[in-house]
Amino acid sequence: MTTVKICGLTRPEDVEASVELGAALVGFNFVPTSPRCVSLDRARELAAAAPPWALRVGVFANESRDAIARAIQETPLDLVQLHRAVTEDDAAWCPLPIIAAVSAEGGTEDAPPREVLARLCAVLWDSSAGRGALGDWSAVATRRALPVRQFLAGGLHPDNVGEAIRSLRPDGVDVASGVESAPGVKDRALLARFFAAVREADRGSS
Task: Please identify every residue annotated as catalytic.
Answer: 7, 126
In order of 19, 47, 108, 198, 206, the CA distances from 11 in angstroms are: 13, 10, 35, 23, 35
Contact between 6 and 25 (Cβ < 8 Å): yes
Q: Encode 10-34: b = buried (16+ Cβ within 10 Å), e = exposed.
A: bbeebbbbbbebbbbbbbbbbeeeb
- Residue 98 is classified by DSSP as E
CB 26 within 8 A of CB 81: no
- Helix and strand numbers (H, E) in the chain are 8, 10
Give the span between the Cα atoms of 60 and 158, in whole angstroms.
26
Neighbouring residues of 61: CB distance < 8 A, sequence distance ≥ 6: 31, 33, 82, 83, 84
The number of beta carbons lying within 10 Å of the beta carbon of residue 92 is 8
